[in-house]
Structure 1
């Protein structure tokens, strides 16, 4: 099987972003002719040019390495496990964020919704989950939507499914991924009869009602990512922090009387 050239890969990304050669040229401050020559293989771009075009196309770091390799250059971005010695500072920062959010739940997941870390407030919710779903890697979509996981606890599983569908579809639009696509096909493709799509404005603040310990806990969440990371692992993880949406829920987590 022939390996795609850097020009072909850049053209694929440009088409995916629905940009013309002129659009990309203007954004990257180069001539449209130069973009055309690169895409057709009539000129070999420098590493700096590859990265400039990739940045304007919002290409993920993992795929920028692939572009550099296709152009004959060494990868620029490392991918080190979060548990490695080199990532100690980043790991400590993530840990501080998770701990500081207690007594409310928070967790960290990667680009495929696999949970990387969580705080102590999240652990009680795993008690009723089938141990098979807790074998690494623990996947948030499976955990939320599988009947052996959180699904029985959710007051409206349809909202959770719609949220995951919207977010996963956006991720696949940004960067195709076979494993993530398979997960989408398994859990998110078919909408049950009568299930309405999640409104766009609810993506800003998606409420969640969880039936747990004989109560209805009302929560909402925020997402945090690392700014301008130079490591693939950091670029692909997200911290999701859950907050109480009413006083009763806050009292449950803090142990304070109403």
Structure 2
């Protein structure tokens, strides 16, 4: 499985902010000799408008938004567009996007939780396929749910800690299926819940699987640990590889940079286990 990455995503920072370039740089340094890499291009404004309002785009370009967790970085629209473009390339190539900023908290017209543009939503809308979105970030992807709620071409399935930020995702609605978990639930509970989650939805009509791959459920994550081991990410990948559909994945959270590369590797090994 190839990895989509641009060093440009390392070019912005806020001192002390957990969504740092260091976490992605450490992952890249670990993965760069183990996988083939692809360089992305920025998503076009037309692609972004498939998901976000024109007013939202302008608010990011002009730094007129406010979210306590999401700094007003100069050129953040450029970097968020590049992250969305990396997601589009990942969908085209059935690859993994190692990029930042993440996206799954961004709504149609809202910046939230380190997220400016919803990259996975843009990639899904761009390609127009019937999609199962599997969100394994420790935080509920409230932006992704808002965007796709009621969309008959998408199933959104999320496993996340509750009551972690943003405090949503306690109940399932329409085509959005939520499986809240207690903090530090551990591998056994997580994998049992993951299996139950997949069993609760009809995946037979799915043309592609899109993974919001957050690794902040890892046991040493400083923000939101669910007590998971690296082996769980491999098992998640193995299970998804058994579904008869192409898969792509994009990085969301995961704030222990020392472990992020290994956890990405475990997920990708699992996803490709059926083809080896």
| Same fold, judged at TM 0.5 (above) | no
Query: Which structure has greater helix proportion?
Result: 1
Greater relative contact order (Cα 8 A, min sep 6): structure 1 or 2? 2
Which has the higher Rg, Structure 1 or Structure 2? 1
TM-score for both structures, normalised by structure 2 = 0.29
